Amino acid sequence: MKRIGIVNQKGGVGKTTTAVNLSVYLARAGQRVLLIDLDPQVNATSGLGRVAEGSSIYNVLVEKMTPAQAVLNIADGLDLIPATPDLVGAAAELLENPTRLSEAIGAIEAGYDAVILDAPPSLGPLTLNVLAAAEGLIVPVQAEYYALEGVAGLMHTVDQVRTGLNPALRLLGVLITMYDPRTLLSQQVEANLRANLGEKVFWTVIPRNVRLAEAPSHGRDIAQYAPTSSGAHAYRRLAEEVMRRVQEA
């Protein structure tokens, strides 16, 4: 399992934070990682302190640029294909060709141990392309009521994609984010998710942490910005858990 999509149709659940910091800690663990920003809000790109300068995932998907031409090196073991707001205009073409992303990844993935796909917070054509390309899914969910219902709705879509487009697609895990152990709500949400989804929920829980919220505004990942913070420790543990799950898949 090499292609991992970070997907949730709801915004504000820590999806891009997870995509960026998981990629960083996988690279720090010795993996060769390609992060592809597929969100027109370009948060993964800006959160790593980069901008697309003439070459982006839009050029790859719409103008058929080779993926290698759009790659930016971020750090040892970590590359990025950035996004631009132009992705909003790619919807019509991608709806007609939901496997375009998968084809593009196929041209470059041999050089990587993991390809992380940061999907937009919707179930539109870009996310459909992510679902058609991914082998494993990580679904971040905020520790709030209705978290289980949101996962159930997304998994219904995943089942449809698995039947029609991508039979290799599997749920790698549900990730609880913005967790505050001091509140009864967080504890109840975690208990509910684990009771209903069992081992599909990652043991690692991402805490509500101000350093995680601050880091993107400085164009830095959490390992650079606050390496001793609780958020940094959580994403390091998540990377270790993801590597174990991938090996067991």
Lowest mean pLDDT, pick from 27-36, 52-61, 88-97, 225-234? 88-97
DSSP letter string, 212-229:
HHHGGGGT--HHHH-TTS
The residues near 154 (Cβ < 8 Å, ≥ 6 apart) are 7, 8, 9, 123, 139
Tell me the residue type at 17.
T
Residue 99 phi/psi, 5-degree rounding, is: -105, 10
pLDDT single digits (tens) 99-129: 999 999 999 999 999 999 999 998 899 999 9
Tell me the residue type at 107.
A
Residues 44 and 37 sit within 8 Å (Cβ to Cβ): yes
**Residues forming a β-bridge with 241:** none
DSSP letter string, 129-182:
HHHHH-SEEEEEEESSTTHHHHHHHHHHHHHHHHHHT-TT-EEEEEEEEEE-TT
**Residues forming a β-bridge with 137:** 5, 171
Domain spans of the chain, in order of start: 3-248
Tell me the residue type at 199.
E
Tell me the residue type at 75.
A
pLDDT of 92 strictly over 80:
no
**In the CATH scheme, what is the homologous superfamily, with its name and number, of domain 3-248?**
P-loop containing nucleotide triphosphate hydrolases (3.40.50.300)
**pLDDT for res 102:** 97
Exposure string of 65-92, with b = 16+ CB inside 10 Å and e = fewer, is bebeebbbebbebbbbbbbbeebeebee
pLDDT single digits (tens) 62-87: 998 999 999 999 999 999 999 999 99
pLDDT single digits (tens) 130-154: 999 999 999 999 988 888 888 888 9
pLDDT: which is higher, 38 or 9: 38
- Here the tokens at position 105 are 């990844």
Tell me the residue type at 54.
G
pLDDT: which is higher, 93 or 220: 220
Residue 183 phi/psi, 5-degree rounding, is: -105, 145
**Residues forming a β-bridge with 205:** 176
Closest by CA to 147, choosing from 107, 176, 122, 126, is 176
Residues 102 and 88 sit within 8 Å (Cβ to Cβ): no
Closest by CA to 75, choosing from 117, 33, 130, is 33
